[in-house]
Chains A and B, each alone.
Chain A
Amino acid sequence: MPHYLSKTNKLKEFLQLLIGHPMGFFGVVIIAIFLGMAFFAPFLGTVDPAASGDVDNLLMPPSTQFWFGTDDLARDIWSQTIYGSRISLTIGFVAALITVISGTLVGLIAGYYGKSLDEVLMRIVDFFMMLPELPLMIVLAAVLGPSMWNIILVVSLVSWPTTARVVRSQVLSLKERPFVESSRCIGASNFQLMFSEILPNVVPLMFAQAVLMITEAIYAEAVLSFLGLGDPTSISWGMMLHSVFESGVISESYWWVIPPIVSIVTLIVSFSLLGTAVSDVLEPGYKEKKGY
């Protein structure tokens, strides 16, 4: 079966093409920087971001002691910014993981088995897709209460239908391909067909969806936190913006607003660029178009 041949080569080739793509390159670099920020947070001159400090240090502009200044509870903004990357990236990856896995399973089963199972599953998917995303997330988050896991749950709940639909489409067309027929002829079971034959061919699509979902999840966390639905025990970039807004000192504390805004925008745009690059590279004929 073709997809088993030189899997590592294919992966290397894919990464090469991705980095060769201008958007892909830019995206990968920026994301790597943020990943570094998240991993090495404790070593980057940071302190506990939630620790309120001295009353003397309230709302201080950047200085040698506080590189990005302090907020209205004398907390170090530099630390908040660095540690905030952990929250955004964690929520992004975990929510994307849950979404892609559940969406793919549903899409795989619905597409493969077809008929009434497909009908039922797709009705459920359609129902979810009818509800507007942000209003739904707000309502769910408000009702479930502010916590990181609730945010992850809410984001996954709202996003998995898209993945399910997309995967199902591909499974439908893959189902008819000769290699599936031939495997069925030599007696492969449904389970084997789904997971050993069809699934590997869906992996590139899953990857594209994953990048998309990460983008969505990071954005969702930022918005929900900004609107006041975030986890108050973990200070994410969105929460920082929420605090600035609530405190009403936005005009006098540019140092408090700029780091979270720049971080959010940069991270999300990078993932978006990466996503565009991934879908370009996965388009059939991309390699040839670029002259390889």
Chain B
Amino acid sequence: MGLKRFFLRKVVAAALTIAVIVCANFFIFRMAPGDPVRMMFRDPRVSEGSLELMKQKFGLDKPLSGQFVAYVKNLAQGDLGLSFSQQKPVLEVLAERIPNTLLLVVTALIIAIVLGVILGAIAGWLSGTKLDTFILTASVAMYSIPTFALGIILLLVFAYLIPIFPLGGISTPASGYEGFELIADVGWHMFLPAFSIVIWYIGEYVILTRSSMIEVMGQEYITTAHAKGLKKHTILKNHALRNAMLPVITITGVNLAFAAAGVIEAETVFAWPGVGRLAYDAVSQRDYPLLQGVFMLFAFAIVLANLVIDLIYGYIDPRIKVGG
């Protein structure tokens, strides 16, 4: 099929998905009971005159189609509305928080995926042994525990009971830390929330890699490799792992939705000032514009990340790279 055509298809699909998300977002929020204007601008201090202006800007005085057009226009200009609980434009609020979330999520994912894949490969290679059963059972337990519940338990035990870690937040307030001290402080704050996210991910990746390994090991080409008299670790590396990794890469994209959930839960429990926590804040304040913005951000981010992963996969799998 050729790499170019593959890329093109994936990009078009991603664009379509984003279009769908934009529409969905619009319609979902129109479902809410009550006056949409009041809903968007809950602050009672806003004057009637300003409300009228807002109404016009967001096309709320026009029929649904008009509203939709206004919505899309605003979106294209980066106007996601006003977050009244934060007293700032939604876009600004999101932009402030994104780096914090990225820091947490990327760190957690890298650790979890690396560890998960290694353990999973070992479990798969040694399938049937006691070590494998142990790893498997532990992994099932690990990915079953809801992230927020794990977070609360960790909080209770390691922040209250045995106060090793801080109770929340991203850094010690008013500490004036700089440079390396700041990094260490943030790291110390990040440990528990990251740990909560990592646990679920490790469980998932172990199970995934393990079953991929087991399937690969049952393939004919592994027997061929043995018949060639290759060393065991050559077979493991060049034949088993290389093939087992392919589905793992694909599933990474699918799993990002769970990363979103994990991040929302962990940030809420540990008051980590990221976009996940914003969801909780928006809900408790009934700040619908903010909630809408958070939802779209998560949805967009996942679509984009999936696109990147698909492109990487296209490079790695020769069946796509060199068309069949």
Any A–B CB pair closer than 8 Å = yes
Q: Give CA–CA (A133, B264) in the complex, Å.
A: 12
Is A142 a contact partner of B146 (Cβ separation < 8 A)?
no
B160 within 8 A of A: yes
In the complex, residue of chain B having the shortest beta-carbon distance to the beta carbon of A246: B284
Q: Give CA–CA (A25, B153) in the complex, Å.
A: 26
Other A-B pairs beyond A134-B257, A222-B148, A227-B264, 12, CB < 8 Å: A133-B258, A136-B295, A138-B283, A142-B288, A223-B265, A226-B265, A227-B280, A228-B283, A257-B156, A265-B153, A271-B144, A272-B144
Q: Give CA–CA (A209, B283) in the complex, Å.
A: 31
Is B145 a contact partner of A139 (Cβ separation < 8 A)?
no
Q: Which of A227, A241, A272 contacts B140 (CB 8 A)?
A: A272
Q: Which of A219, A245, A257 contacts B146 (CB 8 A)?
A: A219
Q: Which residues of A contact B31 (CB under 8 A)?
A: 143-144
Is A135 a contact partner of B144 (Cβ separation < 8 A)?
no
Is A138 a contact partner of B257 (Cβ separation < 8 A)?
no
Interface size range of chain B in the complex = 35 or more
A58 within 8 A of B: no
Interface residues of chain B, those whose CB is within 8 Å of chain A, are 17, 20-21, 24, 28-29, 31-33, 137, 140-141, 143-146, 148-150, 152-153, 155-156, 160, 256-258, 260-261, 264-265, 268-269, 279-280, 283-284, 286, 288, 291-292, 294-295, 298-299, 302-303
Is B153 a contact partner of A132 (Cβ separation < 8 A)?
no
Q: Which residues of B contact A223 (CB under 8 A)?
A: 146, 148, 261, 265
Q: Which of A138, A228, A264 contacts B295 (CB 8 A)?
A: A138
**A side interface size, CB within 8 A:** 40
**Least CB distance, A18 to chain B, in whole angstroms:** 15
**Least CB distance, A7 to chain B, in whole angstroms:** 30
**Least CB distance, A94 to chain B, in whole angstroms:** 20
In the complex, residue of chain A having the shortest beta-carbon distance to the beta carbon of B298: A135
Digit string of A208-247 for contact with B (CB within 8 Å is 1, else 0)? 0000000100010011001111000000000001000100
Query: Secondary structure at chain A's binding surface: helix, strand, loop or mixed?
Result: helix
Q: Give CA–CA (A144, B264) in the complex, Å.
A: 20
In the complex, residue of chain A having the shortest beta-carbon distance to the beta carbon of B259: A132
Is B283 a contact partner of A142 (Cβ separation < 8 A)?
yes
Q: Which residues of B contact A145 (CB under 8 A)?
A: 33
Pairs A–B under 8 Å by Cβ, sample size 26: A23-B137, A130-B21, A130-B299, A131-B21, A132-B298, A133-B260, A134-B261, A134-B264, A135-B261, A135-B295, A135-B298, A139-B29, A139-B292, A140-B28, A143-B31, A222-B146, A223-B148, A223-B261, A228-B280, A245-B269, A265-B145, A268-B146, A269-B144, A273-B140, A273-B141, A273-B144
**Least CB distance, B62 to chain A, in whole angstroms:** 21
**Least CB distance, A224 to chain B, in whole angstroms:** 9
A261 within 8 A of B: yes
A113 within 8 A of B: no
Is B152 a contact partner of A131 (Cβ separation < 8 A)?
no
The number of residue pairs between A and B whose CB atoms lie closer than 8 Å in the complex comes to: 116
Most A Cβ at <10 Å: residue of B148, B260, B302: B148
Is B145 a contact partner of A130 (Cβ separation < 8 A)?
no
**Least CB distance, B139 to chain A, in whole angstroms:** 10
Q: Which residues of A contact B265 (CB under 8 A)?
A: 134, 223, 226
Q: Give CA–CA (A22, B141) in the complex, Å.
A: 13
Digit string of A130-174 for contact with B (CB within 8 Å is 1, else 0)? 111111101110111100000000000000000000000000000
Q: Give CA–CA (A145, B32) in the complex, Å.
A: 8
A64 within 8 A of B: no
A250 within 8 A of B: yes
Q: Which residues of B contact A138 (CB under 8 A)?
A: 264, 279, 283, 291, 295
Q: Which residues of B contact A144 (CB under 8 A)?
A: 31
Q: Give CA–CA (A138, B269) in the complex, Å.
A: 16
Is B145 a contact partner of A269 (Cβ separation < 8 A)?
yes
In the complex, residue of chain B having the shortest beta-carbon distance to the beta carbon of A136: B295
Q: Which residues of B contact A133 (CB under 8 A)?
A: 257-258, 260-261
Is B283 a contact partner of A135 (Cβ separation < 8 A)?
no
In the complex, residue of chain A having the shortest beta-carbon distance to the beta carbon of B156: A257
A201 within 8 A of B: no
Q: Give CA–CA (A257, B146) in the complex, Å.
A: 15
Q: Which residues of A contact B279 (CB under 8 A)?
A: 135, 138, 227
A254 within 8 A of B: yes
Q: Which residues of B contact A271 (CB under 8 A)?
A: 144
**Least CB distance, B14 to chain A, in whole angstroms:** 10
**Least CB distance, A272 to chain B, in whole angstroms:** 4
**Least CB distance, B142 to chain A, in whole angstroms:** 10
Is A261 a contact partner of B153 (Cβ separation < 8 A)?
yes
In the complex, residue of chain A having the shortest beta-carbon distance to the beta carbon of B143: A272
A251 within 8 A of B: yes
A57 within 8 A of B: no
Q: Which residues of A contact B257 (CB under 8 A)?
A: 132-134
